[in-house]
Structure 1
Amino acid sequence: MFNFMPIQYRVRTLLASGILVLVSACSSDYIAQGQGSGVATVPSKAKASAQTAVAAPAGQSRYSIAQDKAPVVALAEHQITETPARMEPLSLQGNKSPYTVNNKRYKILSSAENYREEGLASWYGAKFHGHATSNGESFDMNKISAAHKTLPLPSWVRVTNLDNGKSIDVRINDRGPFHAGRIIDMSYAGAVKLGFQDKGTARVRVEAIAGSVLDSASYYVQVGAFSEKTGANAMRDTLSGEVSDQVGVFRDNFYRVRIGPVKYSRAIELQQQYANGEMGKPVIVAKP
């Protein structure tokens, strides 16, 4: 018969047996975390460093432009290509939840389904051009993209300028804007297509495009890490009796107990299910 004792009591039993539990210990695997302004030490709109396909200007330090600005040669609306929404998997980077910026915590939505919101849109451009977005891609201000605080990356949304009625489909691959009252940060090209590049902000409606995210089973939930294999196997066996998902032990410097692979939405559920004060919050780990 399976042991359904609450996990905090099982942990006490393991600790009493002299087994070290290190739930939050880092591993050499790719951690599913926000790469940009989802990290508290990064400036409010900054995007983290990564290998990029579009290089930043030669000799220019990261975000060396003090104030953001448009390109030297302004884009015309007809020069900007729109890309139709498509189904694609969640990014392995940029979906850490929760994350903190400027002492405020943000929780990533488990799905973009049925998302709809109205508020202010702003835009970003030359200051971030060529640098990495939160999901590790390269930001190109001359192409349509956007940043959002809580939608999964990537998500496809339809953005409508409520002042002029213009509407475009936009792929969100970044985090932001971290300013009160703003709900989405468009690339400069996106602002041009929506007709507010000169004004700077616009009242918009943002609506998720149904069926555009393929939530593949690409994540693990790390519940514990042990210095001894015996403790890891014991936790694996107990968890196997509680969840229908696969549970395994992965070894590097420690014996790490992980549930998965699972979809991101399921990973969030498991993380919440096994979070408690004594063990700490389980870590979501991206499948390599």
Structure 2
Amino acid sequence: MLGLALTSAACAGVGGSTAPIRGATPPAVADPAPIVSGTMRPYQVRGRWYRPEEQPNYDEVGMASWYGDQFNGRPTATGEIFDMHAMTAAHKTLPLPGLIEVTNTANGRRVVLRVNDRGPFVDDRILDLSRGAAQELGLLQAGVGQVRVRYLGRAPRLGGGRPLQVAESAPSPVQTLAEPGRFWVQAATFTDGDRARRAAETLGRSATVDGGRSGQFRVMLGPWPDANAAERARQAAIAYGYVDAQLISGG
């Protein structure tokens, strides 16, 4: 419980959706580390109770923060030593140690992280990142940002964290459609019409399939009357794993 107590102080002071993430496959863990039993007991921080449990279908979108120098070298909730440069994270209730996939919804960067700590104990945040993880996700300067977190399962005895997609998705040049003053988002293109229709169903009522020309089926979101609304839809599409989603203007 010493690691938990230290982490409670650390994470208090710093800062869904269920669609599959494209290209995400759980890493194979041949020799998983045992779950640290002490970390699975209910615990209380600032008058609020938390109840860790197995959550094989955990898939949430929320805010993440990061912690670094002040706690570097201290024990985490599992007893492992916190290395602020390692690819690790803290979560309130997932099994420890475990693996999660984290996507920065603003830029599409994705990482696999080892969860070995408890926190953050701030109401609007679901995850605390190590400094190294925040850097890979592009959250180091902002300090706080929206992420999608998916539980992958048990962690190996050592490590397990790694970048999956580190290059930011640069917006493509704005394309033009026929209807002036309207904005769309092109979430993805497919050569298979059935795949395009399944993607549109995943993305909701605003999604349609435009296609067949030149063998390409485009999954389109919208239209919206202003670019800000369309940009929010583009970011939502990125959160669903369509990292090449691009804004299209009607001119």
| TM-score normalised by length of structure 2 | 0.52
Q: Which consecutive unaligned segments of at least 5 residues does structure 2 have?
A: 16-26, 157-251
Equivalent residue number for residue 203 of structure 2: none
Give yes or no for contact 2:14–2:65 (8 Å, CA) kept in 1.
no
Query: Distance between the aligned counterparts of 2:14 and 2:65, measured in 1?
Result: 12
Equivalent residue number for residue 41 of structure 2: 97
Following TM superposition, where does structure 1 have runs of at least 4 consecutive aligned residues deviating by more than 4 angstroms?
A: none
Amino acid in structure 2 at the alignment position of 1:203: Q
DSSP 3-state at the match of 1:186: strand
Equivalent residue number for residue 230 of structure 2: none
Residue of 106, 110, 121 corresponding to 1:178: 121
Distance 1:202 1:128, change over 3 A: same
Q: Which consecutive unaligned segments of at least 5 residues does structure 1 have?
A: 1-33, 48-66, 70-83, 215-288
Query: Distance between the aligned counterparts of 1:68 and 1:167, measured in 2?
Result: 22
Equivalent residue number for residue 113 of structure 1: 56
Q: Which has the higher Rg, Structure 1 or Structure 2? A: 1
Work out which structure has the larger RCO, using CA pairs closer than 8 Å and 6 or more positions apart in sequence. 1
Distance 1:43 1:172, change over 3 A: closer
Structure 1 residue 213, shift from structure 2 partner: 5.5
Query: Distance between the aligned counterparts of 1:132 and 1:85, measured in 2?
Result: 27
Amino acid in structure 1 at the alignment position of 2:41: S
Give yes or no for contact 2:89–2:113 (8 Å, CA) kept in 1.
yes
| TM-score normalised by length of structure 1 | 0.46
Equivalences for residues 97-176 of structure 1 within 5 A: 97-109=41-53, 111-176=54-119
Amino acid in structure 1 at the alignment position of 2:86: K
Equivalent residue number for residue 32 of structure 2: 88
Equivalent residue number for residue 36 of structure 1: 3
Distance 1:183 1:85, change over 3 A: farther
Query: Distance between the aligned counterparts of 2:69 and 2:38, measured in 1?
Result: 22
Q: Which has the higher strand share?
A: 2
**How much is the aligned-residue C-alpha RMSD, in angstroms?**
2.5
Amino acid in structure 2 at the alignment position of 1:44: S
Query: Distance between the aligned counterparts of 2:108 and 2:91, measured in 1?
Result: 21
Aligned residues: 143
Give percent identity, aligned residues only. 41
Structure 1 residue 155, shift from structure 2 partner: 1.1
